Structure 1
Amino acid sequence: MSSLTITIIIIFATAIVVAYLKATWRDRCLKDMEGFPVIAEMKDGRTVWGTLDLESSGLLLRYPKPYKSGSHFETSFILYRSEYASIKAIYRIPADLDDTLRKKRELKTFSSQSGFFVTVRKAVRNFFAAVRDAIVESMKLLIGQVTPKSSVLSGKEKYVNKMGESFVDYIGNSYDPLLEKLIGRRIIYERFEDDRWREYQGILRNYTKDFIEIINAFAPIVIVFSVKSGKREMLGINIETDGEHISLENGRQTPVKLLLEDVVTLQPGESAKIPFKKTLSIELNEEVDVIFPRSEAIVRHTVD
């Protein structure tokens, strides 16, 4: 069998495997929050919240109640996988979960870190991720040897190389030996906010080539939303407007900040009445589980 025939077989076999893996692969950090109510903070300033459904092609947030927008009611928000770069953070607030979801969180978060099959799966995944570059370079070398002799593959190096990279991307996510050692440990992570780096604590739960997942973290959540006439309840905050004023009551168990010209803090059970605004920003400060794109946060220190 000639080298050209072998190369063509490799290309077709790889294409089939990549197509299958693309149809089934889901980021494991996002999988940890599937079925839970989350708050998605986007880089363009929007905030969306709902129950997370995850597919290989993207994610869907199901609203707690239909949301009126213009002449229609919307029931969910869809974010395609190609748009994951627009995510700033995805938060889950353990205090807002009911008993069933709390048990599910404990099972997913704390009961799946050990065991024979978990260890084997991680070892296999990390092996493929660790040799990713070697596989890609080997494919490039193979194609490089055959291409000059083949008019079929001439000028297709970029396509073949891309297919090889896709193959190893879907077999295993990037392996980071530093982060691998820190899974389950309390760490300090940094985010660049307001023109400076800020530090926060949490426990590193997981990581992929795109995201890091941190649980039991303390981080502020800024929620930006449009103010509609009438009454509504939003994440435990009761809001009512008459067109001239906005009345808010904090029904949460923790303080809430209204980010106005002068910040107003509402303690649990407290109310406030402010002049009407088309949009309002509210900050929550409590323990959260959070997923960050790896471009948005970096693990900096370990904590004893």
Structure 2
Amino acid sequence: MNTLAITIIIIFTSTFIAGYVKSKIKDRCLKDFNKFPIIVLLKNGKTIWGKMELESTGIILNYPRPHENPMHKEKAFILYKPEYATLFGVFRPISDLDETEKKARELKSLVFKSGLLVRIRRGIRNFFAAVRDAVLETFSVFLGRVAPKSSVLSSNQKYVKKMGESFVDYIGNSYDPLLEKLIGKKIVYEVFRDDQWNEYIGILRNYTKDFLEIISTKFPMELTFTLPVPGSKTEHLSIVISNDGEFVEILNARSNPISVLFEDKTHKINPSDFIKFEKTKLNGSIKLLLEEEMDVIFPRSEAIVRHIVAEEKE
């Protein structure tokens, strides 16, 4: 067999293997939320929720109940992998989990294994991830010298600028020795919201090239719901909204307080309590705020680990 034939066979074989592996790989952070009820918040403010079904090419969110659309009934929402760029964050409120899901969360998220086999496996994975990062960085430098500037970056300057020039090379590493040391530790992370950086505390669970996974954190999540038509009511995330045409009533059936955001004030609603107000105070939709313990996954373009929290001495 001549050299050309051997080369062709190697190329086809390696391409086939690489394609198969790529079709099976799922993001490690997203895998921790698989089969759990989650809330997905997009950068444009749109909110979707349901039980996550993760595939290598995207996410299926299975609704708790079919959603009525004027033209059809929907039972799930599909977010494709190329659309991950539109994500602001993926949230898993602890209060939304049943007992079985809470036990599964404890096994998946709260146990940080450190056995010999785990360390070896993680070391091998980190080695290949570091090699990958080095190859991609070299390739990017080469492209930067011979290719025009990216149109994607040019059209999204506000997202690039907010991270600061010093982080352009930092974001996107599959292996990061800084973050590797912080897994399982309480950290302060920053999120860019309302044109400023805001700090929150949580535990770094995992990281990948694209995402940061932070557990046991309190993050203020704003939700926007469309008002039901007069004479009807809707239920979203155990929040019941009724509209009789003149007044709107909001019943909090969650286990934690929620807040209604008006233009001039914020009204808190405790569990099993409700508020009733004139429909004229709203503009076709209602904004609510959840502030409770949850696990979150942020794109690394939206959040960054900033501080290590000092351990309190007894």
User: Do they fold alike, i.e. is TM over 0.5?
Assistant: yes
Partner of 1:89: 89
Structure 2: 5+ residue stretches without partners: 141-145, 148-172
Q: 1:180 to 1:55 in 2, by over 3 A?
A: same
Distance (whole Å) between structure 2 residues aligned to residue 51 and residue 139 of structure 1:
38
Opposite residue 20 of structure 1, the aligned amino acid is Y
Summarize the alignment of residues 79-118 of structure 1 with structure 2, pairs less than 5 Å apart. Answer: 79-111=79-111, 113-118=113-118
Match of residue 274, structure 1, among 274, 277, 299 = 277
Partner of 1:226: 226
DSSP-derived class of the 2:91 partner: strand
8 A contact 1:112–1:118 mirrored in 2: no
Q: How far does the alpha carbon of each residue in 1:256-280 deviate from its partner, in whole angstroms, 9 at most, with x for none?
A: 1111112222122321123334221
DSSP-derived class of the 1:13 partner: helix
Opposite residue 257 of structure 1, the aligned amino acid is S
1:254 aligns with 2:281: no
Partner of 1:151: none
Match of residue 235, structure 1, among 234, 237, 249 = 237
- Pairwise CA RMSD of aligned residues? 2.4
Q: 1:31 to 1:133 in 2, by over 3 A?
A: closer
Distance (whole Å) between structure 1 residues aligned to residue 138 and residue 93 of structure 2:
45
Q: 1:175 to 1:296 in 2, by over 3 A?
A: same
Q: 1:139 to 1:79 in 2, by over 3 A?
A: closer
Measured after TM superposition, the shift of residue 116 of structure 1 is: 3.4
Opposite residue 241 of structure 1, the aligned amino acid is N
Measured after TM superposition, the shift of residue 28 of structure 1 is: 0.7
1:286 aligns with 2:278: no
Q: 1:137 to 1:97 in 2, by over 3 A?
A: closer
Partner of 1:264: 267
8 A contact 1:60–1:78 mirrored in 2: yes
Measured after TM superposition, the shift of residue 3 of structure 1 is: 7.5
DSSP-derived class of the 1:83 partner: helix
Opposite residue 16 of structure 1, the aligned amino acid is F
Summarize the alignment of residues 140-179 of structure 1 with structure 2, pairs less than 5 Å apart. Answer: 174-179=174-179
Distance (whole Å) between structure 2 residues aligned to residue 259 and residue 233 of structure 1:
18
Partner of 1:43: 43
Distance (whole Å) between structure 1 residues aligned to residue 42 and residue 235 of structure 2:
22
Distance (whole Å) between structure 1 residues aligned to residue 27 and residue 47 of structure 2:
21
Opposite residue 297 of structure 2, the aligned amino acid is I
DSSP-derived class of the 2:129 partner: helix
Distance (whole Å) between structure 2 residues aligned to residue 225 and residue 179 of structure 1:
36
Q: 1:138 to 1:191 in 2, by over 3 A?
A: closer
Measured after TM superposition, the shift of residue 233 of structure 1 is: 2.3
Measured after TM superposition, the shift of residue 252 of structure 1 is: 2.1
Partner of 1:187: 187
Opposite residue 257 of structure 2, the aligned amino acid is P
Summarize the alignment of residues 184-223 of structure 1 with structure 2, pairs less than 5 Å apart. Answer: 184-223=184-223
Return the TM-score normalized by structure 2.
0.81
Distance (whole Å) between structure 2 residues aligned to residue 128 and residue 275 of structure 1:
60
Q: How far does the alpha carbon of each residue in 1:195-232 deviate from its partner, in whole angstroms, 9 at most, with x for none?
A: 21110000000000000000001111111122223122
Q: How far does the alpha carbon of each residue in 1:232-261 deviate from its partner, in whole angstroms, 9 at most, with x for none?
A: 222222211123321101222322111111
8 A contact 1:46–1:225 mirrored in 2: no
1:296 aligns with 2:302: yes
Summarize the alignment of residues 8-87 of structure 1 with structure 2, pairs less than 5 Å apart. Answer: 8-87=8-87
Q: How many residues align?
A: 274
More displaced 10-residue stretch of structure 1: 217-226 or 54-63: 217-226
More displaced 10-residue stretch of structure 1: 44-53 or 263-272: 263-272
8 A contact 1:62–1:76 mirrored in 2: yes
Distance (whole Å) between structure 1 residues aligned to residue 102 and residue 291 of structure 2:
19
Return the TM-score normalized by structure 1.
0.83
Q: 1:135 to 1:5 in 2, by over 3 A?
A: farther
8 A contact 1:61–1:76 mirrored in 2: yes
Identity %: 49
DSSP-derived class of the 2:20 partner: helix
Opposite residue 252 of structure 2, the aligned amino acid is N
